[in-house]
Amino acid sequence: MATPARRQGNHARRVIVAAVVLSVIATTLVAVLGGRFLPPGNGSTQATGQVLDNTVMLAIVTPIIALLVVFFVYSLSQFRHRGGALVDGPPLRDDPHVRVWWLVVTSVTVLFLAGFGSYELLQNGSGGGQGPSPIAIPNGKMLPVQVIAQQWQFTYRYPTYGGLETPQLVLPADTYIELHVTSLDAIHSFWATELGIKADANPGVDNVAYLQTKSPRTFHVRCAELCGLWHGYMFNNGRVVPQPQFTAWVKSQQRDFSAVAKYLPKYSKSYYPDPQRRAG
């Protein structure tokens, strides 16, 4: 007959073998399929980078989830109470090997993720707002586009096209965009979901975020900061279009808004609400 220690050893071996097998299968699936299913998709270079980050983090946590699932299922099937008197199980004992391995594995994981995350962030800002003096600046020519949030809509200004301001965000494909996100009133947050861009819009602050568009597509823009009564309705759609279509669109917008363009304030990094209009 097997001794209690031998039986415990068998349990541990079975759980570890099953967890390793499940981990290898599940982690392979995550690595192969993660890029296809994880948010925010492939809408920009920054979004693709975020999918990679999400895949790496999911792949790291998969073996831990596999071990927990196997241990849970194994415990339910092997250690359930099967009638008779309830007896206490064997006592839990400290194990110095487990302690050392726990410290080594968790420290290596956290340090690797810190290094990987910092490297990814410094490539191109990863789609986040970097404040008025960004440190992760991509190389190359940029198209500046200003995002102006106010209760409860976004408008967009194109300083290199005469400070044109429109209620639609249209961007040229395969282009590096320098977004300048600001607000006229409360704190909002500009979130272009499929492009992987999210940057706070604060009044009086020029929050810079970088975006490299890919092929033409539509995308959603949402406010991601509770900003008042109609926050839930603060959304619109944007488009990434081929360069010639973008140029034609800019011309049509300049024509459409020519009558009111002269009332716009001069292009500036940030604006404050008009006190007279506010009083009225």
Contact residues toward Cu ion (CB under 5 A) are 188, 223, 227, 231, 234
- To Cu ion, the closest distance from the beta carbon of 128 in angstroms equals 18
- Closest to Cu ion by CB, 197 vs 234, is 234
- To Cu ion, the closest distance from the beta carbon of 199 in angstroms equals 13
- To Cu ion, the closest distance from the beta carbon of 47 in angstroms equals 22
- To Cu ion, the closest distance from the beta carbon of 190 in angstroms equals 10
- Closest to Cu ion by CB, 56 vs 234, is 234
- To Cu ion, the closest distance from the beta carbon of 152 in angstroms equals 7
- Closest to Cu ion by CB, 224 vs 241, is 224
- Closest to Cu ion by CB, 214 vs 231, is 231
229's CB contacts (< 8 A; 6+ apart) are: 152
- To Cu ion, the closest distance from the beta carbon of 111 in angstroms equals 37
- Closest to Cu ion by CB, 124 vs 207, is 207
The CA distance from 83 to 86, in Å, is 8
- Closest to Cu ion by CB, 178 vs 200, is 200
